[in-house]
Amino acid sequence: MFKFEKKVLSNGLRVTVVPMKNSEAVTIQVLVGVGSKNESERLSGISHFLEHLFFKGTEKRPTAGDIYKELDRVGASHNAFTGYEITGFWVKLASKYFDVGLDVISDLLLNPIFKEEEINKERGVILQEIAMYEDLPQRKVAELLLTLMFGNQPAGRSVLGDKKSVGGIKRSDILKYRAGNYIAKNMEIVVAGKINSEKVFKKVESAFVKTKKGAKISATKTKQNQKSPRIEIFNKKSDQTHLALGFRAFDMFDERRHALGVLSVILGGNSSSLLFSEIREKNGLAYYVGSDDWLQTDTGLVYLRAGVSHANLRKTIEKMKDILSELKKNRVSLKVLNDAKSYIRGQMALSLETTDHVADFYGEQDLFYKKILQPDKILETIEKVSQDDILKIANSVFKSENISLAVIGRHLNATGQERYYKKLFSEL
C-alpha cells in the first residue's frame, strides 16, 4: 500500500502522485477517457490511429523519430495503448530523468503537428497491423467473439477498425476527434516512483497548463438483446482450432465484480484452475486454455479460450460445458475458494512492485470510478466472497441466453456443428 496524493488543476485536469521510496524509477502515465466505443462506424479505428500519430512529430520535435531519440537517449521505456474506453500514454525512466520524460510526454500530447505525409505513412503501418492480427487466430477469435455478442455497434467492432474505415480517415477527422476528446476533464495524469510530490504537482501543472477545457464526446451505450446461444464457426486453413466461449455478465460498477474475478480464477485463471486441470492436464486437449473476465462501464463478459486440434474441438467444448454445469450445481470447496483468493492477493502484490503497474492501478481507478481504493481495501472485499456468492454468480452468468461461441479453424461442416453446439448449450 502506498500513500498517494490527488489534485485537480485549475483547468480540470486530475493528477495523482504515488511516491515509491524503494524504487529508482518513475513512470509518467497519461490516461484519456476515450476509445473505440466513442467512434462512429465511418471513423472506426480513429482512437487507435490518433494514438499512433501523437508520436509522429511536434512543433519542438518536428521529425517523426525525434521523440524516440530523446527517450532512447536516457534509456526510457515508453509505449501507448488504445482500448474500448481508454487510451493511455506512458514513459518509464530513471527518476533523475523525470524532467525529460515529462517534457516529452506533455509535448507529444499538447503540440502535435499531424503532417499529412505522416498521417498517410502511419495509415499504411496500421493497415499492416490489421493484416498481422488477421493472421493470428488466437487474437482474431476474441474479436470475432465480441462481434458475435454485440453486433455492428462500437462494442462489437475491432479497436483497430478495418481496412475501409482506416483508409477513409482524413486529417480533418483527426483534428476534430482530438479536440472533442483530449480535454482536461477527460484526462488523468499519474506519476509513480521515486519522486517528491510537491515538486511533481508544480511541474505537471506547468507542463500541462495548455490542456484545453471543454465537454467530452459521449460514448455510444451498448445495446444488448440476445435471447439464445449464438454460435459461429469461421472456416480457415490452419494447423489448430481456436475457440472463444463468452457469457454476458455485468458492468465494472456492479458490486459483484470482485466475486466474478474470484470465479474467473477458479474457472481458468491459473495452472490450478478447473479448465487447466481438466482440459490440459487430465485430457491433453490443449496447450493453452484459460478464462478471464472483461468489464466495461456499461457491459461485461466472462470468456473461456483454448487452442486445440481440429478433431478435439467437440470434446473440448463438451468438457467446458460439463465444468460450467458443475459450477452451477455445486458449491466450490472452501480450499478451492481460499486458494483463488490467495492467488489474487499474491498477483496483486507482485504487480505493485513496479512503477508502471502502480500507475495503472491508481490511474484507472480514478479515471473510471472517480475514487481510489487502496489494495488492502480491495482485498478485504475479495476475502468476503463466499462459496454461495460463487454459486449465485455462476447461475446468473452461465445461462444459455448469455452464451456466444466463436471458432476459427479448418471445419467444413460448420453449419452442422453450429446446430450441435446450440443444442448442447441450450441445456446449460
pLDDT tens track for 246-276: 999 999 999 999 999 999 999 999 999 999 9
Residue among 84, 86, 83, 81 at smallest CA distance from 33: 86
**What structural domains and CATH numbers belong to the chain?**
5-207 (3.30.830.10), 230-426 (3.30.830.10)
pLDDT of res. 415: 85
pLDDT of res. 342: 98
Q: How many Å apart are CA 135 and CA 239, to the nearest integer? A: 12
Say if residues 46 and 217 touch (Cβ distance below 8 Å): no
Q: How many Å apart are CA 13 and CA 209, to the nearest integer? A: 9
> Beta strands 87-94 and 241-248: pairing type?
unpaired
Question: CA Rg, the chain, in Å?
Answer: 23
Does 218 score more than 80 pLDDT? no
392: cell is 449465485
pLDDT tens track for 323-357: 999 999 999 999 999 999 999 999 999 999 999 99
> Percentage of the chain with pLDDT > 90?
93
Give CA separation, 17 vs 27, 87, 196, 375, in Å: 10, 19, 9, 16
Residue among 213, 208, 214, 205 at smallest CA distance from 107: 208
33: cell is 477517457
Q: How many Å apart are CA 417 and CA 233, to the nearest integer? A: 8
Say if residues 265 and 385 touch (Cβ distance below 8 Å): no
Which residues does residue 26 pair with via DSSP β-bridges, in sequence order? 93, 193
Give CA separation, 233 vs 78, 133, 402, in Å: 38, 18, 18
pLDDT of res. 139: 94
* Other C-beta atoms lying within 10 Å of the C-beta of residue 417: 17
Residue among 190, 150, 206 at smallest CA distance from 6: 190
